[in-house]
Amino acid sequence: MATGEQHPDEPTPDAPAPAADDGRPGSSAAPEGRADEAALTARAGDTLVVQRADGSIHEPNGDGEPTMTLAETMHASRHHEHPGDLEPPQRIALPPVITLLLGIAGGVVAIAGMRQVSSIVAPTFLAVTLLIAVYPLHKALRRVVPSALSALVLVILLYGILASLVAGIALAAAQFATELAKPTYSDTYSDLVDGAIDLLAGFGVTQDQIIDGLNSFDLTSLSGVASSAVDALTGTTSLLLFLLTVIIFLAMDAGGFPRRIDAIHRSRPDVADALVDFGTRVRKYWIVSTIFGIIVAVIDYVALLALGVPLAATFGLLAFITNYIPNVGFVLGLVPPAFIALLDGGLSTMLWVIGIYCVANFVIQSILQPKFTGDAVGINATTAFLSLVFWAFVFGALGALLAIPFTLLVKSLLIDRDPRSRWINQFIASAPDDSSSAQPV
């Protein structure tokens, strides 16, 4: 060997002697105290990894790569990948049929659950929507009076409205039952039945068939139905007390609603925007429905008064209340005055009542009211009717009254908030948006 040359395997004079154990397989035993740390050694590609007793991985070469388990390192080695480049696990997609069936099953369970708690959910939602409707008044009062006094005024106002409506319905039902019990109407009813029998006999219907069909119906039974309605309304004391309690707590918390919405907006802006949109729509719905309900009630009252139909004020109040029920509310407000008009003034008076009610309802609710509501509701007549049937099935009478607000809540949170679901608006909206993501057929 030449002078000055050095064998590659020989250490330089300045280099320290190699360690007795480098931690690789086949080397001498690990130093005392490290046997529990270097429990297992494996080589992944060119990277030396050591699995300690606690399951973590130590990389003696200090290349700075993230610590991994031995199984992940060996998996990366088999696929010729760097240990830090592992792909995340893929989500397993269910077949569309299974997804649809699971969605239907979940919906059925949710509906059954809502029906079980309808006595709590429906009154609470009514209180929430009413508070939303009068919330601008609460904000205005807070500028001039303390927050507690503003909340008290809000509670008195809302409870006064609810108590007046319930008392008005009970009074109307009681007066209707009393009117039907008059003896003069019984004679008129008998004459009408005789005339109907003669008319139907000309079409081949026998008298026995007609009498059998009418035996189960008389004015006494109809009066009993009205009396039962009065009893049911007077039994709503517990409902009113529950509503009063909910309104009190909501009014106490109303001052913090803007801060809560701001807090939600910081983390979930889409949810916050949907809630604000729902509040705006439902407030406009209640206000516009109330204004046009008053207009319809005044027109019906004046018409009934001019025709000499008894209980004109009672039927005007009934028209105002039923105006909140979409589609069928008009029919519910028409049948009682038309029947009384038939008994009191004859067929011609009844036809006049029906004609005036139909014209007023068509002009106001079908032409004028939509122009003022604009996109406040934003659902077509078919959707409104199906919503009425569905929510009445779930929540009963209050569901019929709150059909539109419930639908607005679902629309804002589940359809308008999610861009992937906005195509549904093409089927339920009163004026579909041409700029939506749905493609023309």
Question: Hey, where are the domains in the chain?
Answer: 40-79, 120-428
The b-or-e profile of 382-397 (16+ CB within 10 A means b, else e) is: ebbeebbeebbebbee
| CA 359 – CA 351 distance, rounded (Å) | 12
Give the end-to-end CA distance of the chain in Å, rounded to a whole number: 90
Tokens standing for residue 395: 């929540």
| CA 183 – CA 200 distance, rounded (Å) | 26
Is residue 407 within a helix (H) or strand (E), and if so which, with residue range?
Answer: helix 403-410
| CA 343 – CA 341 distance, rounded (Å) | 6
Residue 20 has pLDDT above 80, yes or no: no
pLDDT of residue 297: 92
Residue 303 has pLDDT above 60, yes or no: yes
Question: How confident is the model over 327-373, as pLDDT tens digits?
Answer: 788 888 898 899 889 888 888 899 999 999 999 888 887 777 766 66
Confidence of residue 384 (pLDDT cuts 50, 70, 90): confident
CA distances from 329 to 56, 127, 319, 401 (A): 71, 21, 8, 9
Say which range, 60-74, 133-147, 267-281, has the weakest mean pLDDT.
60-74
Residue found under tokens 């001052």: 255
Structure-model confidence comparison of residues 27 and 229, the more confident one = 229
Q: Which of 184, 208, 186 is nearest to 197 (CA)?
A: 208
pLDDT of residue 368: 78
State residue 65 phi and psi, 5-degree precision: -75, 155
| CA 103 – CA 85 distance, rounded (Å) | 36
Say which range, 12-21, 93-102, 238-247, has the weakest mean pLDDT.
12-21
Is residue 232 within a helix (H) or strand (E), and if so which, with residue range?
Answer: helix 219-234
| CA 303 – CA 353 distance, rounded (Å) | 8
Structure-model confidence comparison of residues 278 and 381, the more confident one = 278
Is residue 397 within a helix (H) or strand (E), and if so which, with residue range?
Answer: helix 397-401
Q: Which of 305, 307, 301, 297 is nearest to 346 (CA)?
A: 307
Residue 72 has pLDDT above 80, yes or no: no
- High-pLDDT (> 70) share of the chain, %: 64
- Cβ atoms within 10 Å, residue 296: 25
pLDDT of residue 69: 52
- Return the top range by mean pLDDT from 78-92, 160-174, 350-364: 350-364
Please report, as a single letter, which amino acid is at residue 223.
S
Under 8 Å between Cβ of 70 and 40: yes
pLDDT of residue 215: 59
